[in-house]
Amino acid sequence: MRISVPKELKNHEDRVALTPAGVHDLSGAGHQVTVESGAGVESGFTDATYEAAGAKIVENQGALWEDAELVVKVKEPTPAEYQFLRPDLTIFAYLHLAADPELARVLMESRTTAISYETVETDSGELPLLAPMSEVAGRLGVQVGAYHLMKPVGGPGVLMG
């Protein structure tokens, strides 16, 4: 399979959908993995690290999407990426379609197969791809709450608890 990992375009999204270890495993299994140049920089992964793991690095976002059978992203496609959606493409990402009816419409019209991380279930009904994100959000919520209680940012100046 030809798998592509684009650089995330969503504002403040610094994650990358596939680590070099993932590239190594997929390449070792015979898949062709292409990573957009700079896709992993904000997560601490250089292009050279991806290349050493077996990825091909490309500069051109259009070529990256055009060559892909499967695009793996963190977040949903942005309007700038809608032009790349097509019937013979599968995309795997957090999609949150209930909050974005326009994206749902675009995906249906493009006939792209879209698999949403947050809907992947085990046989027992667990959500293995959503659970770690929920854990991070739960822990971060306390930290953000504490920050907003501080007087210098407009809070009442009280400690948590």
Closest by alpha carbon to 59, among 17, 7, 18? Answer: 7
Instruction: State the pLDDT at residue 25.
Output: 98
- 53, 24 contact by CB (below 8 A): yes
Rounded CA separation 158/145 (Å): 11
Are residues 35 and 48 both part of a single domain? Answer: yes
Are residues 85 and 144 both part of a single domain? Answer: no
Rounded CA separation 75/106 (Å): 15
Read off the pLDDT of each residue in 107-112 and give the average, rounded to a whole number: 98
Q: Which domain holds residue 95?
A: 2-119
Read off the CATH number of the domain in which 32 is found.
3.40.50.720
Read off the pLDDT of each residue in 117-127 and give the average, rounded to a whole number: 94
Instruction: State the pLDDT at residue 133.
Output: 80
Percent of the chain whose pLDDT exceeds 90? 90
Rounded CA separation 121/117 (Å): 9
Are residues 22 and 99 both part of a single domain? Answer: yes
Question: What total number of domains does the chain contain?
Answer: 2
Instruction: State the pLDDT at residue 82.
Output: 98
Are residues 56 and 27 both part of a single domain? Answer: yes
Whole-prediction pTM: 0.86
Read off the pLDDT of each residue in 134-143 and give the average, rounded to a whole number: 89
Closest by alpha carbon to 116, among 98, 92, 90? Answer: 92
Instruction: State the pLDDT at residue 132.
Output: 83
Identify whether 161 is part of a domain. no
Are residues 83 and 94 both part of a single domain? Answer: yes
pLDDT for 6-18, tens place per residue? 999 999 999 999 9
Cα distances (angstroms) measured from residue 138 to each of 22, 54, 141, 154: 26, 35, 5, 23
Q: Up-side HSE of residue 38: CA atoms within 13 Å toward CB?
A: 6
Instruction: State the pLDDT at residue 33.
Output: 98
Q: Is the pLDDT of residue 136 over 90?
A: no
Are residues 134 and 69 both part of a single domain? Answer: no
